[in-house]
Amino acid sequence: MELKLHPDLKGPLRALCEDERTTVIVLSGSDRSVLDENFGEFKMWLAAEHGMFLRPTYGEWMTTMPEHLNMDWVDSVKHVFEYFTERTPRSHFEHRETSFVWNYKYADVEFGRLQARDMLQHLWTGPISNAAVDVVQGSRSVEVRSVGVTKGAAIDRILGEIVHSENMITPIDYVLCIGHFLGKDEDIYVFFDPEYPSESKVKPEGGSASLDRRPNGRPPSNGRSNSRNPQSRTQKAQQAASERSSSSSHSSTSSNHDWREGSSVLDLKGENYFSCAVGRKRSNARYLLSSSEEVVSFLKELATATAGFQATCADYMHVLG
């Protein structure tokens, strides 16, 4: 699968990756070669095939697949995908190591939907009727993956590897999670949210033309959040970076926060967790970014705020010196 990155993404992404206080993770359904080609130059962690494979910063790929993962269904599902690909012009399918994805993005819309419906019926009554798999339907795709494989399930294993690899003892006190996920993979938002499933979500502090706050994890009825004191996206980004930097400098370094012994290094408060869905109005995420352009714009502002804080710290240390 060809992955097309926004042409203006590399600058702010590189700036955030180079920040010593920041760990960047790209978690994707794509295979390892696609992530290597597009993100291999950055100082970040890569997680391919919904987290089944993990690559540390500038390291080698490792598998995080659970033991005894049943893949007996692969051959029969492959035959079904080949059958529908041949009969649906401009459709294609990808055979990944732990899943199959049939995509009809470039096919005739109505015909593609009919074929997808027939494929689902064929799968459920045939090769996967008794198999331990999940069928995930996207807007123009059908994916078959091993049961329980989701981004939320993967992030727990990924964080465990990061904590172990980097000997992390300082609690993680700030998380920004941005993605355009299928509904099944939105459990990653729930994993990080310190207030889920409480009904008392943090109420919206401000409205923005492009970064919308969702009370109670649901989109507001009018598509925008209302507030008497609206904040711009720049202010939100700067405030987030500033609060993160301040709280990081006062974080406890107690060795009691050990991931492997059952104690989470996550020490999040509601105001330090930012989840953003891209282009999905129905989502568990707290905020909405409507397009990839808005994602890049937001990351630019966050990178600028981070650089400003670093410059302030450098000036302060110079004065002390």
Distance CA 69, CA 147 (A): 9
Which pLDDT does position 133 carry in this prediction? 87
Give me the pLDDT at residue 310, please: 56
Distance in angstroms (rounded) separating the CA atoms of residues 176 and 162: 16
- What are the structural domain ranges in the chain? 10-23+166-317, 74-146
Contacts of 265 (CB under 8 A, 6+ apart): 159, 163, 168, 169, 170, 171, 172, 257, 258, 259
- CA dihedral sign, ordered 58, 60, 64, 65: positive
> Which pLDDT score, from 0 to 100, does residue 240 have?
53
Which residues of the chain are modeled with pLDDT < 50?
198-213, 215-234, 237-238, 245-263, 313-321
Residue 145 φ then ψ, to 5°: -140, 160
Residue 5, pLDDT score: 84
pTM of the predicted protein model: 0.73
pLDDT for the residue numbered 198 = 40
- CA 297/CA 232 separation, integer angstroms: 12
User: With respect to CATH, is domain 74-146 assigned 3.90.1070.10?
Assistant: yes
* Polymer length of the chain: 321
| Whole-number pLDDT of residue 114 | 96
